[in-house]
Each structure stands twice: as structure tokens, then as C-alpha cells.
């Protein structure tokens, strides 16, 4: 008989902190970057 138990991922503190803190930080950085480019169009690309 085949085993029905497949290896499942674990939820640890590092992965939770990455989702809760890392993803909003990346989105905030992108928003800040586009905001600065819109306010200061003379910045060279």
C-alpha cells in the first residue's frame, strides 16, 4: 500500500515575518520610488 502522507510545508516565524513585513516593505518601496519620480521629473533615469 502506498503511503498517503506527503511532506507538508511548515509555518515558521521567518516565513510569517517575511509575508507580514517583507511584502509590504517591497510594495512601499515601489510606491515611494514612483512618487519621487513623479515629484522630481528632472532626475535622470
31 assigned to some structural domain: yes
User: Please, is 5 exposed, middle or buried when counting C-beta atoms within 10 Å of its C-beta (0-12, 13-18, 19+)?
Assistant: exposed
Indicate whether 24 belongs to any domain.
yes
Residue 21 lies in a domain: yes
Look at residue 26 in the predicted model and tell me its pLDDT: 95
44 in any annotated domain: no
Domain that holds residue 34: 14-38
Three-state SS at 8: coil
Q: Is residue 32 part of a domain?
A: yes
Domain-embedded: residue 5: no
Instruction: Quote the CA–CA distance of 32 and 34 in Å, as a whole number.
Output: 6
Q: Confirm whether 27 is domain-assigned.
A: yes
Residue 3: what pLDDT?
53
Domain tally, the chain: 1
Tens place of pLDDT per residue across the chain (45 aa): 455 566 677 788 888 988 899 999 999 999 999 998 899 888 776
Amino acid at each position: 500500500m502506498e503511503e498517503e502522507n506527503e511532506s507538508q510545508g511548515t509555518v515558521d516565524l521567518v516565513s510569517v515575518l517575511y509575508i507580514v513585513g517583507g511584502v509590504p516593505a517591497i510594495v512601499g518601496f515601489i510606491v515611494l520610488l514612483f512618487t519621487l519620480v513623479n515629484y522630481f521629473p528632472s532626475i535622470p533615469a
